[in-house]
Structure 1
Amino acid sequence: MSNVLIVSGHPRLGDDSVANKTILEELTSLLPGAEIDHLDELYPDYAFDVEAEQAKLAAADVIVLQYPLWWYGWPSLLQKWVEDVFVRGFSHGSGGTALHGKKLVVSVTTGAAESYYDAQPGGIERFLAAVKATSALTGLEYAGVLPLYGVSYANRTDEAARADMVERSREHAKHLAEFVSSL
C-alpha cells in the first residue's frame, strides 16, 4: 500500500463530532499503516509545527482530508493549516514541488441531506472550490470526494439517530478505505 496521510480537520473532534470521530476510529483498523494527523489534538492553539507537517506531507503518496463541511467550506483549523503549511517554496512557486503527483482524497461530512446538495448547481463538488484550486496550484492530483450526508451534530443526543449516524459512518470509513487502497 502507498503511504497514506489522513488529516483530520475537525477543530473539536472529541466533543463535537460523532461522524468524523467514528470514521477516524474505523480507519485506524481499516488502514493500519496510515498516519492519522489529528490537528485538533496536536494544535489546539492553531500554532502548527510547519516543518513536521510538511515532512508528513512529503512522505505521503495519498493525502486524505477528513472534515465536516462548515458554512460551505472547510473548518478554520484546516484552513489555517493549509495557509501555514502550504507555503511558497514547499507546495508551489519556485522549487515548490513537494506535493506534485500525490493523490488527494476529500472525505467530507455534512449535516444536510444529500438532496440539498443535489439541488445545488454542481452538487457537492461546488463546495470544494478551495480544495480543487489548492490541488491545481500545488500539483496534487485530486482523486475525488466521498461525502457522508445527513450526519448533523444536532442529532447526537437522539439515541436512534446517533446509532444510525455511527453505522453510516462505519460504512463510509469502509468505502473510504477501499477507495484509498485502490489508488
Structure 2
Amino acid sequence: MKKTAALGALISFGGINSLFANQKDVSMQDKILIISGHTNLQNDSVANKNIIANLKELLPSSTVLDLGSMDYKFDVKRDQQLLLDHDIIVMQFPLFWYSWPSSMQKWVEDVFTHGFSHGSSGNKLKGKKILFSLTTGAGEEAYNKNGFMKHEISEFLYPMDAVANLAQMQNLGFICTYGVSYSMRSSKKSEIQNKAKEHAKRVAEALQGSKFRQNSSQI
C-alpha cells in the first residue's frame, strides 16, 4: 500500500430538512481520517489532488488513506482499525456516474462488514462523525429538476446517507464544489486550483467549528 502523509477534512450528511440540527461542534481534539476515493489521484486529478494538498497544510495532524493507489486490494483489518482509531471520517471524492468512484464503493463493501458496522452486534462505528466532500464536472446549474441532470445533487447522495445511517454514524452534511471537470485541465487549471483551495478552506472551517457554509442542497 502507498501510505500518504497526514491530512484532514470533514464531510457527512444530516437528515432531510434537518442538516446540522442538534449537532455538536467538531472538536479539534477529534482525530480525523480522510478517505480519498479518486481512482488515480496522483496522475489524473486536479481538483481532488489540490483539495487534499491544501487540507494537509490546513489540518496537518489528520490522516489520509488513498484508495486509488491500492488497486482494489484493501487490508480490511487495518482499515477497520483506522476507522476505530479516528473520530471523524471524511469521504473525499469526485462524483463519477452519479455516485462515488468504484474504488470507494469496493472499499465500503469490503470494510463495512456485518458484525462491524452493522448487524445485531455491529456497532463499532456508532456515534462517529462522517462528512462527504465531493466535486463534480458539471456546473451547479445542471443539478436541479429543470437542469441537465434533472435532480438536485443531494438526491445522488442518498445511498451514502443510508450507509452512514446503517452504521449509526453522526451525519454532518456535505460540501460540494461544482464545475471542475478533468476535461478542462489544460485551459482552466488555475481556476480549478483556486476552487480546490476554497473548498479545502470551507472543510477546514467546518472542522474548526466555524459556521458551515454549504454551497449545495441539503439532504
Q: How high is the TM-score relative to the length of structure 2? A: 0.79
- The correspondence for 2:55, drawn from 3, 8, 27, is 27
Aligned: 1:174 with 2:201: yes
1:121 Cα offset (Å): 6.5
Distance verdict in 2 for CA 1:121–1:62, change over 3 Å: farther
1:173 alignment partner, SS class: helix
- The correspondence for 1:134, drawn from 159, 163, 174, is 163
Partner of residue 89, structure 1:
115
1:123 Cα offset (Å): 1.8
What whole-Å deviation, never above 9, does each CA across 1:108-156 have from its counterpart, x for those lacking one?
0000001111346762110101111101110011100100100000001
2:126 alignment partner, SS class: coil
1:40 alignment partner, SS class: helix
Deviating more after overlay: 164-173 vs 121-130: 121-130
The structure with more helix, counted as a fraction of residues: 1
1:180 Cα offset (Å): 2.0
Deviating more after overlay: 121-130 vs 101-110: 121-130
1:104 alignment partner, SS class: strand
Counting aligned pairs with the same residue, the percent is 45
Partner of residue 33, structure 2:
5
Count of aligned positions: 179
1:66 alignment partner, SS class: strand
What whole-Å deviation, never above 9, does each CA across 1:6-46 have from its counterpart, x for those lacking one?
000001111111000000001111111110111122x12x1
Q: Structure 2: which 5+ runs fail to align?
A: 1-27, 211-219
Q: How high is the TM-score relative to the length of structure 1? A: 0.94
Partner of residue 57, structure 1:
83
RMSD of Structure 2 on Structure 1 (CA): 1.3
Verify the 8 A CA contact 2:142 2:150 in the aligned structure 1. Answer: no
1:100 Cα offset (Å): 0.6
